[in-house]
Structure 1
Amino acid sequence: MKKKKQKKIRITGGLFKGRIIHSLHHTNIRPTRNCIKQVIFNWLQKDIKNSICLDCFAGSGSLSIESISRSAKSVTALEKNYILVKKIKETLKKFLINNISILHVKTQKWLKKKGDPYDIIYLDPPFNNKYLLNQAIMYLEKYSWTKKYSIIYIEHTDNNIYIPSNWKLMKKKKIGIVLLSLFYKKNNF
């Protein structure tokens, strides 16, 4: 019987470049590919330092850990799968990272309250789940999780998603069937 190949996730830049986060056998997630992470963090290179980030669908924790590796001040990571939360916590302990708060919650439920706005927000929901994505975008605006000049990264598969009128598209790229979009929030006036 052929052994199933384990999914290994590497950090692509910064302090932890080249380190493996953890393997994700027996999980049904699609981690952000290295080529996509390189595009994202090339886009964010002038903004990531000392930023306060929100990773709405943390999954493997790759974007959260990559942010800290590249000098973000802190990350709040939201993940509903307890096994993934546990794996992320193990990695944080192994890397001696103490500025990522990983919360075992449903993103939509957590966003449905007033909060302090973030500098950078990652929206990479379970693959092709446009409903979750649109709901998260709506809640980010409705409950004041964004502020003027917040940067919002969205990973999606089609252009038919809800984008608030005060979000301005900065960058866009297609890799395979995945669309990468980077927005910033401008004034409401």
Structure 2
Amino acid sequence: MRIIGGKLRGLRLNTPKNLPVRPTTDLAKEALFNILNNQIEFEGLNVLDLFSGTGNISLEFASRGARQVVAVDRSVHCINYVKDTARQHKVEDIVTYKADVFKYLEMETEQYDLIFADPPYDLNRIPEIPKIIFEKGLLSADGLLIVEHQSMQNLSQHPAFVEQRKYGHSSFSFFKNLVS
């Protein structure tokens, strides 16, 4: 796993073997950030990374100039790894929370320019993620939600769904806040 762009480009993340994660592959992450390069300006973004795991995505956004990245995961080991890695590489733009993502979303009132969610693929509540985010108004005007999930899963029923991009067994579903 490595950071592919920005000030930390090329940084290899050597995560402990005992973390309860399924990291986004380098191939899928590179494809995702190629898509995002053509759609958004990273500088100054306010990002929420749900089910942050290794912090791979959080670090990528911070490396590319996001103003703030909030990383949420229920594993204390994951949160400690993200904090330690950010500190080690002098990344001050990442804030971490050890929390159940659904409980965190119930309490959250901040709006984000981009929300990325990479839940465990076997989580049966994945379709609730866009529903909760849009009902609570957690995306800023023209904000973007990206949910990573198994390719066989279809999230297109949500009214804010824009497209699904498949990369082997993994897919990214994109949702756009069109409220101005």
Q: Same fold (TM over 0.5)?
A: yes
Normalising by structure 1, we get a TM-score of 0.86
Deviation string, structure 1 residues 67-87 (Cα, Å, up to 9, x no partner): 011111111110100011111
Task: Find the counterpart in structure 1 of residue 89 from structure 2.
Answer: 95
Distance 1:121 1:13, change over 3 A: same
Distance 1:23 1:159, change over 3 A: closer
Q: Provide the C-alpha distance between the structure 1 equivalents of 2:172 and 2:131, rounded to a whole number of angstroms.
A: 19
Q: CA deviation at 1:127?
A: 2.3
Q: CA deviation at 1:163?
A: 4.8
- In the alignment, is the contact (CA less than 8 A) between 2:147 and 2:174 conserved in 1? yes
2:110 partner SS: coil
Q: Given residue 37 of structure 1, which amino acid in structure 2 is its aligned partner?
A: K
Q: Provide the C-alpha distance between the structure 1 equivalents of 2:147 and 2:113, rounded to a whole number of angstroms.
A: 14
2:74 equivalent among 71, 80, 98? 80
1:176 equivalent among 158, 163, 168? 168
Distance 1:117 1:27, change over 3 A: same
- In the alignment, is the contact (CA less than 8 A) between 1:108 and 1:135 conserved in 2? no
**Are residue 25 (structure 1) and residue 17 (structure 2) matched?**
yes
2:134 equivalent among 141, 147, 153? 141
- In the alignment, is the contact (CA less than 8 A) between 2:52 and 2:58 conserved in 1? yes
Normalising by structure 2, we get a TM-score of 0.90
Q: Provide the C-alpha distance between the structure 1 equivalents of 2:57 and 2:157, rounded to a whole number of angstroms.
A: 22
Task: Find the counterpart in structure 1 of residue 116 from structure 2.
Answer: 122
Q: CA deviation at 1:144?
A: 1.7
Aligned length: 177
Q: Report percent identity of matched pairs.
A: 24
| Aligned residues: CA RMSD | 1.8
Distance 1:117 1:177, change over 3 A: same
CA radius of gyration, larger in = 1
- In the alignment, is the contact (CA less than 8 A) between 1:80 and 1:107 conserved in 2? yes
Deviation string, structure 1 residues 96-144 (Cα, Å, up to 9, x no partner): 011110111111001003512100000110123241x222222212222
Q: Provide the C-alpha distance between the structure 2 equivalents of 1:163 and 1:185, rounded to a whole number of angstroms.
A: 15
Task: Find the counterpart in structure 1 of residue 52 from structure 2.
Answer: 58
Unaligned runs of 5+ in 2: none
Task: Find the counterpart in structure 2 of residue 4 from structure 1.
Answer: none
Q: CA deviation at 1:168?
A: 4.2
Task: Find the counterpart in structure 2 of residue 37 from structure 1.
Answer: 29
**Are residue 108 (structure 1) and residue 110 (structure 2) matched?**
no
